[in-house]
Structure 1
Amino acid sequence: MTTAPSSRDLAHPARDEIRLEEVLHALADPIRLRVVRELLAAPGELTCSAIELPVTKSTVTHHYRVLRECGVIRQTYRGTAKMSRVRSEDLDDLFPGLLDCVLAAASRQAVRLGGG
C-alpha cells in the first residue's frame, strides 16, 4: 500500500495491489454498497457528508476507510473537505464488469425484497 507522507495525504493501494477478495468484502456491506452506488451516480467527486447514511459519523468514517484501503474509492483533500470517487477505471481494468454486475444484482435484490 502506498504510504501517506503527511496527515493530509491518504494511503491508497496501487492498482496492482488491489485484491478481489478485499473488494468483494467491501462491497458485501449494504452501507458501503450504497456509498459506491451514489458515488457512481454523481457527476463528480462527493464529500463524505454528501451521502446521507443511517449510521453515526464514526461509522461513516469507518466505511469510507474500508472502501479506500481496499482500492474501491480514492479520497483526496480539497481544502478541509475529503472528496471521494470510485476507482472505476482501475476496478474495470482488473475485474472487468464486476462493479456493473454487483450493482445490478443489488438492484434486482432490492426490488425482489421490496426495497427498490
Structure 2
Amino acid sequence: MKQIGIIRCEKNETRCPLTSCLKALDQGREGFQDGDGHELVGVFTCRCPGDGVADMARILKSKGAEQIHFCTCMFAHKDKDGWVEGDGLCPDAARLAGGAARAAGIPCVLGTAHLPKGYRPDIFT
C-alpha cells in the first residue's frame, strides 16, 4: 500500500473539507489511479507564498509518505462544464510541487480529485 501525503491551499481550506479528494484516494481513482492501494499519512495546508512547502514535504516523508499530492484546486478551476486546467488558486503550484519533490526526495503529483478532462497528473521527481 502506497503511503500518501496531501498538500492543499489555504484559499480553499474553509470551503472544502477534502471529501472528494479523500474519496478518490480511498477508491484509487482520479489522481490516485496508479494501481496501488493508498493510505493517507497526513495533510498540510500551504500558506501563501508557499515558503513552508519544502518543510511540509520533508515532514510528510518522515511520517511515511512515499508520494505527495497537491490538490487539483491549486492548478485548475471549476466552470459550468466541469474542471478546467489553469487559473487555480495557486499560480505557483507546479513550482511548489517541484521544490517539494526535490526537498523531500519523493514524487509530488499535481492532482487529487476533479481532474480536468484529458488531464494526466504531472509528477515531479
TM-score range, shorter chain: under 0.3
The structure that is helix-richer by fraction is: 1
Larger RCO (CA under 8 A, 6+ residues apart): 2
The structure that is strand-richer by fraction is: 2
Q: Of the two, which has the highest radius of gyration?
A: 1
